[in-house]
């Protein structure tokens, strides 16, 4: 296991077994990098190794070893593992790590404490799907679908959304992967039939299909935008939230990215940033491995920055940024005939945020630029409504 801070590896010989830890980010020279060795008992087996940018954890069948770097020294802490079940998953975060056990229970270990907290999940969760510094995301079986719950790692209790526990019902055919957007407002769920769904943490009961035939997906770091692989294509959705507003907007907000090699069901997205995505196809069935850093559309970062500056009900900064980006991309397109101007993607993002924020003027302008005049007429019919009535009408529109 390798992170930005640690390299943690298991070494086994005929005479001994050990864990070797090397601090990668230290002020020492390469030859003098801090190292630490954990010698294992003869009956001790390594089950899980995890590391993030600050801490590392090694889980064996009898013990837990936590690792941290301070003042160019590696410090380890031993915690006995008093559990009847076997750890099958570990999620490492800045202030805690969570162990997912074979009986589907989940324990939270706060760094610096030897006593775990068991999550009061009631029925055992189907899976511990993701973790962040603010919440653990679990799926719990339900007669009507998959129930998504968020738990606080500090209290072990349900995270409250608008004063109530987050308990969204997700009518999926089993969730095989879930992740949260960097701003914490959207959750993506990929089910076992390769359908990618999106839900909002503000309204977890409203789950919408973003794309089907999806085999891999990744949020851009720092931006609520998605790179995903579907039906042999590498795609980029600048505003996945569009699925919660208008299914047709998703098509406009999504574009295909050029990959130097053909993507397949085995192709993965190792990471995605505002500037590039690392796409990897492993070797198999006689095919050679392939890897490429594919540029992500440059306009995503300034667009989302402008949307973030816009206040509720006033998307003026985003509209100004949108027109500026279109002028810039139009000039680039004139200089390079092969360059396409993704104006529809920009306007789809504006329309999405305008509908969520109740900015009728911006929504009509965006839908007008898209040429969707039936939507413009609908929004015009909302003139004069009070804020509560407007929100109800928009919810009805999204549910249509």
Pairing of strands 203-212, 195-200: antiparallel
| Predicted local distance difference test score (pLDDT) of residue 343 | 84
Asked whether the beta carbons of 111 and 70 are under 8 A apart, the reply is no
Would the pLDDT of 237 be above 50? yes
Would the pLDDT of 251 be above 60? yes
| Predicted local distance difference test score (pLDDT) of residue 336 | 47
- Closest residue by Cα to residue 315 from 306, 327, 302, 323: 306
- Closest residue by Cα to residue 25 from 82, 83, 70: 70
Q: What mean pLDDT comes out for the span 109-113?
A: 78
Q: What is the distance between the alpha carbons of residues 393 and 391, in angstroms, rounded to a whole number?
A: 5
Residue 12, C-beta contacts closer than 8 angstroms, at least 6 positions apart: none
| Predicted local distance difference test score (pLDDT) of residue 275 | 92
Asked whether the beta carbons of 263 and 232 are under 8 A apart, the reply is yes
Instruction: Look over the chain and give the mean of its residue pLDDT values, rounded to a whole number.
Output: 76
DSSP string, 161-201: ETTEE-EEEE--S-EEEEEE-TTSSEEEEEETTSEEEEEET
Which position has the higher pLDDT, 13 or 216?
216
Would the pLDDT of 2 be above 50? no
Which position has the higher pLDDT, 72 or 180?
180
pLDDT one-digit tens code per residue, 272-317: 999 999 999 988 766 678 899 999 988 888 888 878 777 655 677 7
> How many CB atoms within 10 Å of residue 50?
21
**In Å, how far are 68, 151, 165, 374 from 160, measured between CA atoms?**
32, 9, 4, 38
pLDDT one-digit tens code per residue, 69-110: 777 777 777 788 876 778 877 777 767 888 878 777 788 888
Q: What band does 125 get if pLDDT is binned at 50, 70 and 90?
A: low
> Which of 20-34, 169-183, 344-358 is predicted with the least confidence, judged by mean pLDDT?
20-34
Q: What is the distance between the alpha carbons of residues 143 and 171, in angstroms, rounded to a whole number?
A: 10
Q: What is the distance between the alpha carbons of residues 217 and 200, in angstroms, rounded to a whole number?
A: 17
Q: What domains are defined for the chain? A: 1-118 (2.130.10.10)
Which position has the higher pLDDT, 129 or 336?
129
Place of tokens 């851009």: 220
| Predicted local distance difference test score (pLDDT) of residue 394 | 61
Q: What mean pLDDT comes out for the span 155-182?
A: 66
Would the pLDDT of 63 be above 60? yes
Q: What band does 4 get if pLDDT is binned at 50, 70 and 90?
A: very low
Look at residue 320 and give its three-state secondary structure. helix
**Crossing angle for the helix pair 316-335 and 343-357, nearest 10 degrees?**
170
Q: What band does 179 get if pLDDT is binned at 50, 70 and 90?
A: confident
Asked whether the beta carbons of 123 and 86 are under 8 A apart, the reply is no
Q: What is the pTM of this model?
A: 0.61
């Amino acid at each position: 296991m390798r992170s930005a801070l640690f390299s943690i590896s298991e070494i086994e010989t005929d005479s001994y077994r050990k864990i070797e830890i090397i601090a990668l980010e230290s002020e020492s020279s390469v030859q003098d990098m801090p190292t630490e060795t954990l010698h294992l008992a003869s009956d001790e087996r390594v089950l899980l190794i995890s590391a993030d940018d600050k801490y590392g954890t090694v889980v064996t069948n009898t013990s837990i070893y936590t690792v941290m770097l301070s003042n160019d020294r590696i410090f380890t802490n031993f915690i006995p593992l008093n559990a009847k079940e076997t750890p099958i998953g570990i999620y490492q975060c800045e202030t805690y790590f969570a162990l997912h056990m074979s009986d589907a229970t989940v324990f939270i270990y706060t760094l610096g404490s030897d006593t775990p907290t068991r999550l009061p999940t009631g029925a055992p969760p189907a899976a511990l799907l993701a973790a962040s510094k603010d919440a653990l995301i679990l799926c719990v079986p339900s007669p009507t679908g998959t129930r998504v719950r968020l738990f606080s790692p500090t209290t072990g209790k349900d995270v409250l959304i608008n004063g109530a526990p987050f308990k969204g019902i997700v009518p999926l055919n089993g969730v095989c992967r879930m992740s949260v957007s960097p701003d914490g407002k959207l959750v993506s769920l990929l089910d076992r039939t390769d359908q990618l769904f999106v839900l909002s943490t503000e309204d977890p009961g409203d789950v919408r299909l973003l794309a089907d035939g999806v085999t891999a997906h990744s949020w851009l770091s720092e931006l609520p935008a998605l790179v995903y692989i579907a039906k042999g294509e590498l795609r980029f959705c600048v505003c996945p939230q569009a699925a919660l507003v208008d299914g047709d907007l998703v098509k406009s907000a999504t574009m295909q990215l050029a990959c130097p090699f053909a993507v397949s069901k085995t192709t993965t997205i190792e990471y995605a940033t505002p500037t590039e995505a690392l796409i990897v196809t492993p070797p198999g069935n006689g095919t050679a491995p392939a890897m490429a850093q594919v540029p992500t559309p440059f306009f995503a970062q300034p667009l989302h920055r402008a949307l973030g500056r816009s206040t509720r009900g006033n998307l003026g900064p985003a509209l100004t940024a949108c027109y500026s980006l279109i002028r810039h991309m139009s000039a680039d397109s004139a200089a390079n005939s092969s360059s396409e101007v993704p104006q529809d993607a920009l306007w789809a993002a504006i329309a999405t945020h305008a509908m969520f924020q109740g900015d009728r003027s911006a929504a009509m302008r965006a839908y007008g630029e898209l040429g969707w005049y039936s939507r413009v007429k609908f929004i015009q019919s909302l003139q004069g409504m009070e804020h509560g009535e407007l929100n109800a009408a928009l919810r009805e529109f999204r549910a249509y």
